[in-house]
């Protein structure tokens, strides 16, 4: 792929990007959210038509106007969510659209021949399952392997694996990697996408990094240490780390004394997040840092009851508390503002007023409607306190800027008077002025005694606000660092899995000390 450019209305998603795949090699495509990885893959697989540049396969120029043409050129894709038919058999999925026919093609499907063919494909993958069994009866890992079997059975020259390990456990990942190496050794070019650094360095031969729709560079794995990879993805060169924006470095904020407001011990969910420990004290801001996909959001969703943990225990005020639903969390004065404010937070077709009172209305039940006058008073109070613009409570939320939408979401949760406020990427996609207002609000709430768990991809922002910083990598909480002169470089080093001399927090346990030894 040379000079690939793709433009959407008002946005240049890719700008003059080059990308190469070699036979018999695993090539990882890396970049943060919005870097252009998905767009580049969709250009390669015919989902998107390119606006500029060229694509060639095996030295022959190609032009794709749809996925079928890409498949015909030998490009097969296995997506994060397996796009096979779970109510058909394994054999039927492997040969879907290519079913053998009886009587020289004049009769119906030859199911015996189909099963024999599928059995050979499965044997090549060392996958011991019945080709006649329903695909849906197998684990997601097996379904991923069947999808790979289908892809290589079409004589694919290129195999695109888009986040294939996102829902797999360690044993399943190991089995998948065995298959990937087998496919690679047969001369197939494998494009691998994952946010898990350990996996990238275990399986990859080459890495290409994108950032903001542009090519950062292509590197052999042995020539790109983890810390440099993280630096290139985030866009902050190590040489500039000592020249951070004025005001981003703060003196260490003393840990608030007293019993923990919330503790989590061994809380985890199979296929989502490995068991973790976490303490949150009254008035304390605990930051969570890590690359996209590291498990930050999964951690707070387990604490809030949006997802149900498989293991562990949560205590609130030293009392064991089964936070199995958001309703239970709210009853314990825990509030959560999701990173996806449009899909999981705000109701765009409702007014500012209706969005602000939504949580307390739900808590008291829809049969006990909050009087309109009281709604108006509450909305006006928080509109003024948070400087929401326009200040008209009847304005539809979908007509607000991103920053003002975020303030409406904050107002809703502050109205519930939480003791613990969980904020997942509260400043993403908003302007600098709104960011400063929200960060100032978080610091003020902490000074007034509210506890906050704060997630942000902007490391300076995490350092600016947090007493302690939990470091996430590959669905694990790997460190818990006191913000006592903590630097961005130390956080990046820990994320990358390289040693750091910064002291762990007092509450760090055996499950969270891996990268601070």
Interval 131-189: pLDDT, tens: 999 998 887 778 888 888 888 888 889 999 988 886 676 777 888 898 899 889 989 99
pLDDT at 508: 40
Separation between Cα atoms, residue 6 and residue 8, nearest integer Å:
7
Mean pLDDT of 91-116: 87
**What does the pLDDT average to over 195-206?**
89
Q: Please give the pLDDT value at position 257.
A: 54
**Tokens 């064991």 found at:** 320
pLDDT of 509 higher than 50: no
Six token digits for residue 478? 């790997």
Cα–Cα distance for residue pair 360/198, rounded to 1 Å: 43
Letter string b/e over residues 220-259, b meaning 16 or more CB atoms within 10 A of that residue's CB:
ebeebebbbbbbbbbebeeeebeebeeeeeeeebebeeee
pLDDT score for 386: 86
Does 231 score more than 80 pLDDT? yes
Closest CA to 307 of 479, 513, 475: 475
Mean pLDDT of 207-233: 91
pTM: 0.61
Interatomic CA distance for residues 40 and 212, integer angstroms: 12
d(Cα 482, Cα 270) in Å, to the nearest integer? 29
Check whether 308 has a pLDDT greater than 60.
yes
> What is the Cα–Cα distance from 289 to 477, expressed in whole angstroms?
10
With beta carbons less than 8 A apart as the criterion, state whether 205 and 26 touch: yes
Edge-to-edge strands of the sheet including 319-320?
273-280, 262-269, 311-316, 319-320
Instruction: Show the tokens assigned to 391.
Output: 């200040």
Which two tokens mark 344?
């999981």
> What is the per-residue pLDDT for 246?
38
Cα separation, 470 vs 492, in Å, equals 12
H helices present in 99-218, as ranges: 111-124, 140-153, 170-185, 197-203
Say which residues have a Cβ less than 8 Å from residue 186's Cβ, sequence separation at least 6.
24, 152
Q: What is the mean pLDDT of residues 88-98?
A: 91
Q: What is the pLDDT, as a whole number, of residue 513?
A: 30
The closest alpha carbon to 497, from 290, 295, 298, 297, belongs to 290
Sketch out the chain's domains with CATH numbers.
2-87+134-236 (3.40.50.300), 262-516 (3.40.50.300)
Q: In whole angstroms, what is the distance from residue 218 CA to residue 224 CA?
A: 10
Closest CA to 474 of 194, 181, 220: 194
In terms of C-beta density within 10 A (0-12 exposed, 13-18 middle, 19 or more buried), how is residue 182 classed? middle
Which residue's entry shows tokens 């919005």? 34
pLDDT (0 to 100) of residue 430: 66
Taking a C-beta distance cutoff of 8 angstroms, is the pair 81, 29 a contact? no
**For residues 117 and 111, what is the distance between their CA atoms, to the nearest angstrom?**
10
Question: Residue 153 has which token pair?
Answer: 């059975």
Dist CA 274 CA 310 (whole Å): 10
Under 8 Å CB-to-CB from 121, ≥6 apart: which residues? Answer: 94, 149, 150, 152, 153
Q: Which residue has the higher pLDDT, 368 or 299?
A: 299
Least confident of 8-17, 60-69, 214-223, 243-252: 243-252
Residue that has been written with the tokens 């053998």 in this structure:
100
Section 197-209 average pLDDT: 93
Strands, E assignment, 247-401: 262-269, 273-280, 285-289, 311-316, 319-320, 334-337
Per residue in 257-269, pLDDT (tens digit) is 557 899 999 999 9
Confidence class for position 108, pLDDT limits 50, 70, 90: confident
- Count CB neighbours of 448 within 10 A: 8
Separation in Å, CA 113 to CA 101, 120, 151 = 9, 11, 19
Give the per-residue pLDDT at 258. Answer: 54
Taking CA 20 as the corner, what is the angle to CA 50 and CA 188, rounded to the nearest 5 degrees? 110
Q: Is 229 helix (H, G, I), strand (E, B) or coil?
A: helix
Q: What is the pLDDT of residue 296?
A: 92
User: Does the pLDDT of residue 390 top 90, yes or no?
Assistant: no
Pick from 1, 44, 36: nearest CA to 156 = 44
Bridge partners, residue 30, by sequence: 209
Residues 408-432, mean pLDDT to the nearest whole number? 86
| Element holding 411 (H helix, E strand) | helix 402-415
**Does 390 sit behind a cis peptide bond, omega within 30 degrees of 0 on the bond before it?**
yes
């Amino acid at each position: 792929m040379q000079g690939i450019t793709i433009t959407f209305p008002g946005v240049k998603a890719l700008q003059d990007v080059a990308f190469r795949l070699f036979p018999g090699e695993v090539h990882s495509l890396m970049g943060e959210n919005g870097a252009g990885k998905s767009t580049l893959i969709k250009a390669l697989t015919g989902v998107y038509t390119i606006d500029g540049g060229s694509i060639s396969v095996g030295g022959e120029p190609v032009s794709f106007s749809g996925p079928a043409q890409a498949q015909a050129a030998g490009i097969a894709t296995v997506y994060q969510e397996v796009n096979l038919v779970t109510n058909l058999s394994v054999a039927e999925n492997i040969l879907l659209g290519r079913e053998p026919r009886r009587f020289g093609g004049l009769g119906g499907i030859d199911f015996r021949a189909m099963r024999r063919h599928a059995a050979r494909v499965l044997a090549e993958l060392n996958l011991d399952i019945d080709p006649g069994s329903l695909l849906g009866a197998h684990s997601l890992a097996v379904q991923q392997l069947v999808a790979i079997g289908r892809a290589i059975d079409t004589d694919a020259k290129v195999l695109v694996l888009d986040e294939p390990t996102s829902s797999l456990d360690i044993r399943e990942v190991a089995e998948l990697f065995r298959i990937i190496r087998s496919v690679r050794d047969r001369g197939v070019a494998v494009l691998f996408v994952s946010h898990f650094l350990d996996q990238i360095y275990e399986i990859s031969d080459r890495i290409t990094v994108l950032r903001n729709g542009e090519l950062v560079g292509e590197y052999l794995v042995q020539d790109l240490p983890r810390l440099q990879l993280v630096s290139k993805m985030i866009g902050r060169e190590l040489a500039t780390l000592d020249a951070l924006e004025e005001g981003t470095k703060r003196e260490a904020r003393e840990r608030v004394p007293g019993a923990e407001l919330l503790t989590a011990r061994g809380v985890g969910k199979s296929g989502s997040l490995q068991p973790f420990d976490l303490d949150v004290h009254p008035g304390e801001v605990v930051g969570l840092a890590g690359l996209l996909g590291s498990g930050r959001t999964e951690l707070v969703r387990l604490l809030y009851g949006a997802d149900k943990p498989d293991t562990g225990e949560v205590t609130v005020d030293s009392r064991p508390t089964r936070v199995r639903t958001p309703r239970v969390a709210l009853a314990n004065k825990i509030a959560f503002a999701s990173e996806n404010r449009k899909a999981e937070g705000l109701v765009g077709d409702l007014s500012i007023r209706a969005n602000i009172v939504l949580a307390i209305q739900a808590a008291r039940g829809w049969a006990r409607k909050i009087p309109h006058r009281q709604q108006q008073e509450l909305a006006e109070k928080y509109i003024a306190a948070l400087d929401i613009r326009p200040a008209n409570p009847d304005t539809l939320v979908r007509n607000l800027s991103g920053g003002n939408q975020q303030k409406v979401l904050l107002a809703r949760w502050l109205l519930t008077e939480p003791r613990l406020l969980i904020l997942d990427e509260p400043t993403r996609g908003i302007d600098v002025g709104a960011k400063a207002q929200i960060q100032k609000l978080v610091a003020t709430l902490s000074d007034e005694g509210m506890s906050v768990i704060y997630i942000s991809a902007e490391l300076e922002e995490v350092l600016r606000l947090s007493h302690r910083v939990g470091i996430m990598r590959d669905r694990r909480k790997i460190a818990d660092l006191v913000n006592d002169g903590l630097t961005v470089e130390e956080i990046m080093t820990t994320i990358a899995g390289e040693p750091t001399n910064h002291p762990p927090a007092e509450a760090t346990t055996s499950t969270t000390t891996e990268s601070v030894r």
